[in-house]
Amino acid sequence: MKNNINNDNNYNGEMHMAWDEPPKNTGDKDPWGNPRKKQNNNDGPPDFDELLKGLGKLFGGGGSSSGGNKDGQDFSKSLAIVLSLALVVILAFVLAKGFYKVNQREQAVVLRLGEFHTIKNAGLNYAIPFIETVEIVDITSLKTVKVAREMLTQDGNVISVEIEVQYRSAGSKEWVLNVENPTLLLGLLTESAQRHVVGDNKMDFLMTNGKTEFAFDVKERLQADLDSYNTGILIDSVNLLDINPPAKVKDSYDEVLRAGEERVRLNNDAEKYKSRIIPEAEGAATKELEDANAYKNRIVEEAIGEARRFELLYSQYILAPEVTRERLYLETVEKIYAKSSKVIISTKQGNNMMVLPLDQLFKNKGK
């Protein structure tokens, strides 16, 4: 390094390097005398000054070397304008991203820095970008989950049960903050409630008359479990899709079911016969009792009448025995002859007998 010093030994503030001096040799050696390396114009990074100059020409319209400072100033102003416009566009784009729409069947849960802030209803709303996040929750549509499992009944039998649960969101805040995976949670709680109800009942009851009660009990227990966890899930319905014994014993169980159905049918037939024959028997018994009572009343009345008649005859017989005896005889003969169609008359004189064919006489009289 070489310093330029005046004759008065004062430092004039200028310092020159060896590479600032024009080379004495324009050959292939550098100012230190070493061989000069050949460079490819495409090798190495681009020169920053040249890049700035190119941008200055692009935004400032170019210029001569003598106007370099002016071009640099124009470039700086243009670059500042471009950067400002880009910043405004980016800011406007980011702010515009904060607008969101909530449909009539939905609610929006707004979280500010990860914490619950508010709930927005249907309409156009705005959330501060990067500060507020929005979770849209459908509060009216029904969703469905199906659970099919083999379970143990109260009497130790294994049955295969498949149910369908329809549910919806009853609380947007709880749905978003308390439940990470509603379908998974509902499936686990449904299986738990299902096993509890199956374990409390016998197989025959579940397979026959207990299907409706089974679905109702599962719904009640499942809703109670969901409410205890504050999930914001409301059960709309629980439908029993299928309940059967395992496939390996299904044929045997079907045979048992058929036998049970036959037993029920025979019991029903017996009940029908019972309900028909008992009223008939009761009616016949009542009629017999009524006939017996009527016969009793008639016989009693007749006996009473005969007794009174005998008493009257006896009083007359005491007064006139011969006359009464004769009259009773004649009345008796009259009753006997009234039932006979032929009369035989014998006379005291001789052995002749006379026959009166009354039937023939009455017949001829009728003609």
Which amino acid belongs to residue 292? A
Amino acid type, 346:
S
pLDDT bin (cut points 50, 70, 90) of residue 68 is: low
| Tally of residues, the chain | 367
Higher pLDDT: 108 or 189? It is 189
**Is residue 101 over pLDDT 50?**
yes
Tell me the chain's radius of gyration from C-alpha atoms. 64
pLDDT of residue 217: 93
Per-residue pLDDT reduced to its tens digit, 110-166 = 888 878 888 888 888 888 788 888 888 888 888 899 999 888 999 888 888 999 999
What does the pLDDT look like over 45-54, one tens digit per residue?
Answer: 555 555 555 5
Give the domain ranges of the chain: 71-137, 142-245, 252-319, 320-366
Quick: pLDDT tens for 150-194: 889 998 888 889 999 999 888 778 888 888 888 898 999 999 999
279-287 CB contacts, 8 Å cutoff, 24+ apart:
none
Class of domain 142-245: alpha beta
18 beta partners:
none
pLDDT at 287: 93
Q: How high is the pLDDT of residue 365?
A: 60
Question: How much is the mean pLDDT over the chain?
Answer: 77
User: What pLDDT score does 189 carry?
Assistant: 93
CA distance 289 to 118: 87
Kindly indicate the confidence band of residue 10, based on its pLDDT and cuts at 50, 70 and 90: very low
Tell me the range of 20-34, 172-186, 192-206 where mean pLDDT is highest: 192-206
Backbone angles phi, psi at 165, to 5 degrees: -115, 125
Checking if the pLDDT of 28 tops 80, the result is no
- pTM above the 0.75 mark? no
Name which residue leads in pLDDT, 237 or 103.
237
Q: What is the pLDDT of residues 336-362, one digit of tens each?
A: 877 766 666 666 665 665 566 666 666
Distance of CA 359 to the CA centre of its chain: 96
Q: Are the beta carbons of 234 and 141 closer than 8 angstroms? A: no
The pLDDT tens digits of the residues spanning 219-270 come to 999 999 999 988 888 999 999 998 888 777 778 878 877 888 899 999 999 9
63-72 in b/e burial notation, b at 16+ Cβ within 10 A? beeeeeeebe
The pLDDT of residue 200: 92
| Strand order from edge to edge, sheet including 143-152 | 143-152, 158-169, 233-244
Q: What is the mean pLDDT of residues 34-55?
A: 52
Residue 165 pairs in a beta bridge with 145, 238
Higher pLDDT pick, 64 / 315: 315
Mean pLDDT, residues 15-30 = 49
Per-residue pLDDT, 30: 55
Q: Which residues contact 31 (CB under 8 A, 6 or more apart)?
A: 18, 19, 21, 23
What pLDDT score was predicted for residue 363?
64
Mean pLDDT within 47-75 = 54
The whole-number pLDDT of residue 339 equals: 74
User: With bands split at pLDDT 50, 70 and 90, how would you rate the model's confidence at 36?
Assistant: low
Q: What is the structure's pLDDT at 120?
A: 82
State whether residue 242 is helix, strand or coil. strand
CA atoms within 13 A on the CB side of 155: 8
Distance of CA 335 to CAs 328, 348, 354, Å? Answer: 11, 24, 21
**pLDDT at site 2:** 37
Q: What percent of the chain has pLDDT over 90?
A: 25
